[in-house]
Chains A and B, each alone.
Chain A
Amino acid sequence: MSIGVRESVRDAFGNALVELGKEDERVIVLDADLAESTRSGKFAKEFPNRFIECGIAEQNMVGVAAGLASVGFVPFVTTFCVFASKRVCDQVSISVAYPRLNVKVCGAYTGLFTGKTGATHQAIEDLALMRAIPNMTVIEPIDAREAALAVKYAAHTPGPMYLRIARDAYPVLSRSTNGRGETEATGTEHASDFDGIPEFMKARTLTEGDDVAIVALGTMVHTALAAREALREKGVSARVVAVSCLKPIDEAGIIRAAAETGAVVTVENHSIIGGLGGACAEVLGEKCPVTLRRVGIRDVFGESGADADLARKYGLASDHVVQVCLDALAVKSRGGGGSGFQRLARAGVGRCGL
């Protein structure tokens, strides 16, 4: 896997489950009649005895996983994001998160991009729901390599976790620790044994910039990077900060980006309510109020359509991100939105909790 090549995130997820299955016989995968779509079917083929087809009964599936975890297994529950969150919110909360059982809830098909399925299958609230549940860790990998790492990390880290896995292929941005130095360091470094916290748990600066920070969640970093290029042509220096771990969010990383640029634009394939935009608003509102704009689905249900068309209509395309960044810059330059706080921050006054 080389950096820059497009790789399917869900294939990487499925392959990582298989790798995990080879290493650890405690790993069990459960699915609810979607194994071909989620790619957990790869695991089913390799380890039929440790793959549990639960049928179209997600609530029971989550409970079964909780029971398996309580007797020492490491269950990965796989289904679409909508069902892995809304459909089983109470089961995840009470049977998994409350007793801190070692269940990994894996949602496939993120946000609006679900293959022309329309609103019923678009996950625009899953992050808000999962993030609000105590004890839950919430991760959305930025690319295929990071998806594989996240699976490994989940298996090696006790406790409930929500993995949000994109359906499609994206350029690989992250790199492995062996590095081999063949490309620029743009993304994830990680400890291969997962003794420590891997790099993707932090908010990472992918590209430096001073005028505005585009903080993007998961695969939306690719949109953010495209926007950054367009902004550069307009003479704007945008920093792109990748967030893969939405909860616990790297507060210091978010605050640093805000303090050093004075304007933050969040970008996510999710409702602007309760996801990355919500999380950043919470952090910055309390600790470093700067100009903040949220790019995401603006409290509406989606519809059927090609991904690119959906992105355009619902404001998730890079052009839109560019416009929002320019707007944020204009507000910042007028000194609005933060009671002058950001100017103090930019002047290095260091009032932003750094």
Chain B
Amino acid sequence: MKPARWVEVDQCAHISVTQLPDVARRVRHHVLSMIHASGAGHPGGSLSCVEILVTLYFREMRVSPAEPRWPDRDRFVLSKGHASAALYSVLAERGFFPVDELLTFDAIDSRLQGHVDMTKTPGVDMSTGSLGQGLSAACGMALGAKIDRRGFRVYCLLGDGETQEGQVWEAAMFAGNRGLDNLTAIVDYNKVQLCGPVAQVMPLEPYTDKWRSFGWSVVEVDGHDFEQLISGFNRARETRGAPTVIVAHTVKGKGVSFMEGQAKWHARPIGDEDFELAMEEVGFFQAPRGSVPNPAMQGAGGGKG
């Protein structure tokens, strides 16, 4: 039975699966615009997790944009805090703050920090950026829900390279031993990290075996396929007595041909030409440049003029 409180909040976006690709396209557009405008950011790992975040915020999680700190909301921890542009875009699309604000990304005094900050951005549940720490916090949230017998669920998105951090496996051991079945980890398995392919820098395979051995239920999905993601989250919700990890196979820089699978697009600014090309490729239907004030560019122009 749902508590009466639920009727008052916009707990679920209720949009159909067929509408999700459009949201994802808008999110990719925002991600590229933000990184282009700020002259900094992480395009590769932001574009790879777009479908995961859109599924979470538009289908899976119970959240309230009007009341971001609603106590019974589901929690999300972006452990790969450098994918901030993607999370901010999804939060803005979901109504946590104006879409216009996205172009303040990374600028001084902005609520949208380079890595996510829960004290600044409405809808951000945990500050992250130093890799490997998010899953532990998610464990604490899920454990808190268990101790309090509250119904909220906790989701944590990790980068594949990030799981090279030892703390991730401390957290995996903890969650497995505690049987935190209200916790779902999602690994954005895009197989490329800053300095090259994960398989070269520090290989993770056999990857799903690692999670299973720590007591996790494992689901493997195509991380760009909404149907598969939705069914993965369904399975996680139905699993009792163990946390679930969704190993989402993705493509770094997804949607932009010259960024796909390229380590060099992990963290780098997007120049004007690349931006034009990328925007065409992600298939947005109207040119957005100039439609939204760009404080970073205005500041630079003003100084020179």
Contact = CB atoms under 8 A, between A and B. Distances in A.
Interface of A: 28, 49-50, 52, 54-55, 57, 59-73, 75, 90-91, 93-95, 98-100
A68 B146 CA distance: 11
Contacts of A68: 140-141, 143-144
B167 interface: yes
Contacts, number: 111
Given A72-B71, A95-B127, A64 B147 contact: no
A93 B117 CA distance: 13
A70 B174 contact: no
A66 B137 contact: yes
B138 interface: yes
Interface stretch (B118-126, B205-213, B266-274): B118-126
Contact of B133 (A57, A71, A95, A100): A95
Given A59-B170, A71-B71, A71-B144, 11 more contacts: A57-B173, A59-B132, A59-B133, A64-B139, A67-B77, A67-B136, A67-B140, A73-B147, A90-B130, A91-B133, A99-B118
A66 B136 contact: yes
Contacts of B130: 90, 93-94
B36 interface: no
Nearest to B124: A99
Interface string B170-214: 110110000000000000000000000000000000000000000
Nearest to B150: A71
A94 B118 CA distance: 11
Contacts of B118: 70, 99
With most chain A CB atoms within 10 A of its CB, the pick from B137, B141, B174 is: B137
A72 B144 contact: yes
24 contacts: A49-B147, A54-B174, A57-B173, A59-B132, A59-B133, A60-B171, A60-B173, A60-B174, A63-B167, A64-B140, A64-B174, A67-B137, A67-B138, A67-B140, A67-B144, A68-B140, A69-B140, A70-B118, A70-B141, A71-B140, A71-B141, A75-B140, A95-B127, A95-B137
Contacts of B133: 59, 63, 90-91, 94-95
Interface of B: 71, 75, 77, 117-119, 125-130, 132-145, 147-148, 154, 166-167, 170-171, 173-174
Contacts of A49: 147
Contacts of B145: 71
A-B residue pairs, 6 tightest by C-beta: A67-B140, A63-B136, A60-B170, A57-B170, A71-B144, A67-B137
A53 to B, nearest CB: 10
Given A49-B147, A91-B133, A66 B167 contact: no
Contacts of B154: 67
A65 B126 CA distance: 12
B142 to A, nearest CB: 8
A93 B127 CA distance: 11
A218 B139 CA distance: 35
A54 B136 CA distance: 11
Nearest to A69: B140
Nearest to B142: A67
